[in-house]
Amino acid sequence: MATVPSRRPALDPRALAARFPILARQVHGRRLIYLDNAATTQKPAAVLAALEHYYTHSNANVHRGVHTLGEEATEAYEACRARVAAFLHAPSHRGVVILRSTTEALNLIARGWEHHLQEGDEILLTEMEHHSNLVPWIMLARRRGVTLRHLPLREDGELDLEALPRLLSRRTRLVALTHASNVLGTVNPVAEIAAAAHAVGARVAVDAAQSVPHMPVDLRTLGADFVAFSAHKAYGPTGVGFLVAAPELLEELEPVEGGGEMIREVHLDRATWNEVPHRFEAGTPNIADAAAFPAALDLLEELGMEAVRAHEVALTGYAWERLASLRWLQLHGPADPHRRTGLISFYDPQLHPHDLAQILDSEGIAVRAGHHCAQPLMRRLGVPATTRASFGLYNTTEDVDALVEGLLAARRYFGLPTGGAA
């Protein structure tokens, strides 16, 4: 199996699984094999305990009360901001906006930055984007008359960087791309693309939903101006996501929601805004889930992100080899596990991905089937949908073996030959 060097001991996925209570449950009388981590990860007991602790101990509103509970709640909420900044080596905790999701963060960039744009300006995206990094820009293009361009995909599932010079120009005001594709797994060379974008004076927004939970992400070298990710894909609670940037770059954004918390002074007919990042957090935030997220970061830091990455590279390399031995399957994205994140999308031309996922579910195996919120990419790949297995800390080669057995069982169930298996 392929490995990458790691300064920490290798992960012990079985020991880790024991720290995730849900993984002890059965599905259809079978041990749950959870291979849908790109959609959302499971939560360790420490995160569940942190949630319970918050509600049983400190529950109050933030930045308001002078009472003890209010102070504790504010401290827990602000600790999340500081931990996210440290985890990503962000310039300052003042550059971390606590939102609901990656989707909300990308929408905030699109709406908050639009006053810098005018008709004729261009935004460069890629052909492998999730709808969350397409639709906000499509909406913006409708409002402002800006032109959307797209960096094409090569046959091997990587971006065609040779097309960059003809797509980037002084008209390009912003480049928005995913760090890692949720369908292909491809890890994009963000620093290289960002350098080219910056050379023409464009800003760079990066959708890091599928990278932050799975590999070391260091904002000092990533090259991005704005970064979005979600806690729930990083073993944290749902309902919390982040926009991370240098505070002075956040100053370039207009707030898009008005209300409590985000103001400095309000008159009947005018208002001034609070400082960044608070001006982007109108209303009572998701305090409890933000307060619990550091427990997930504790786990990732205890393991070390190099070790997390090494585990996923090894497991993905093993899974690729085993799936490639099923000759009827089309596998998507780069074959080299070092060039992809821990997920593999595949397509059996004779079996609809939903049927396949249903049969796998009857074996206790959770995978995702569908367009994965990437319809343009499905069209580009020429498939209606794919089945996707995505890995996490607690997955093992036995889980991959069970997946392969499940795929063989599905073929047999539909009376299709399995003789092509190597």
Interface contacts to ligand C6P, rule CB under 6 A: 38-39, 101-103, 130, 132-133, 178, 182, 207, 209-210, 230, 241, 368, 372-373
- Using the minimum distance from each CB to ligand C6P, give the nearer residue, 58 or 181: 181
Cβ neighbourhood burial of 218 (10 Å; 0-12, 13-18, 19+)? exposed
Q: How many other C-beta atoms lie within 10 A of the C-beta of residue 1?
A: 11
Whether 373 is a known active-site residue: answer yes
CA distance 231 to 240: 6
- Using the minimum distance from each CB to ligand C6P, give the nearer residue, 74 or 103: 103
Task: Name the minimum Å distance from CB 316 to ligand C6P.
Answer: 16
Q: Which DSSP string do the residues of 269-331 spell out, in sequence order?
A: S-EEEPPTTGGG--SS--HHHHHHHHHHHHHHHHH-HHHHHHHHHHHHHHHHHHHHTBTTPEE
The packing angle between helices 305-324 and 287-303, to 10°, is 80
- Using the minimum distance from each CB to ligand C6P, give the nearer residue, 178 or 286: 178
Query: At residue 133, what are phi and psi to the nearest 5 degrees?
Result: -110, 20
Task: Name the minimum Å distance from CB 352 to ligand C6P.
Answer: 18
Measure the CA dihedral 369/372/378/379, to 10°: 120
Q: By the 8 A CB rule, do 210 and 388 touch?
A: no
- Using the minimum distance from each CB to ligand C6P, give the nearer residue, 95 or 185: 185
Task: Name the minimum Å distance from CB 224 to ligand C6P.
Answer: 14
Query: At residue 115, what are phi and psi to the nearest 5 degrees?
Result: -70, -10
Name the catalytic one among 48, 139, 373, 404: 373
Task: Name the minimum Å distance from CB 225 to ligand C6P.
Answer: 17
Find residue 36's DSSP bridge partners.
390
Task: Name the minimum Å distance from CB 59 to ligand C6P.
Answer: 25
Q: By the 8 A CB rule, do 124 and 151 touch?
A: yes
- Using the minimum distance from each CB to ligand C6P, give the nearer residue, 73 or 109: 109
Task: Name the minimum Å distance from CB 347 to ligand C6P.
Answer: 16
| Separation of CA 206 from chain center | 10
- Using the minimum distance from each CB to ligand C6P, give the nearer residue, 39 or 357: 39
Active site residue ranges = 373
